[in-house]
Amino acid sequence: MIDYKNICLEVIALAKETGQFFLEEINQVKVSDIEVKGLHDFVSYVDKTAEMRIVKRLAEFLPESGFITEEQTATYRGEHYNWIVDPLDGTTNFLHHLPLFSVSIALMEDNEIVVGVVYEPNRDECFYAWKGGSAFLNGNKIHVSEQHEMKNSLLATGFPYNDFGKLDEYIKLFTWFARNTSGLRRFGSAAVDLAYTACGRFEGFFEYGLNPWDVAAGAFIVQQAGGTVSDFTGSGGYIFGKELLASNTILHQPFLDAVKSHFEKS
| Residue 4 phi, psi (nearest 5) | -60, -40
pLDDT in tens, 231-257: 999 999 999 999 999 999 999 999 999
Does position 72 have pLDDT exceeding 90, yes or no? no
| CATH 3.40.190.80 location in the chain | 150-263
Q: Which residues contact residue 150 at a Cβ distance below 8 angstroms, ignoring those fewer than 6 apart?
A: 180, 181, 251, 254, 255
Dist CA 52 CA 47 (whole Å): 9
Q: CA–CA distance from 246 to each of 145, 200, 216 (Å)?
A: 12, 12, 12
78 or 103, higher pLDDT:
103
Decide yes or no: CATH 3.30.540.10 for domain 4-141.
yes
Distance of CA 36 to the CA centre of its chain: 22
| 150-263 belongs to CATH 3.40.190.80 | yes
| Average model confidence (pLDDT) across the chain | 90
- Separation between Cα atoms, residue 233 and residue 64, nearest integer Å: 35
Q: Residue 210 phi/psi, 5° resolution?
A: -90, 160
The answer to whether the predicted template modeling score (pTM) of the entire model surpasses 0.85 is yes
Cα separation, 232 vs 84, in Å, equals 22
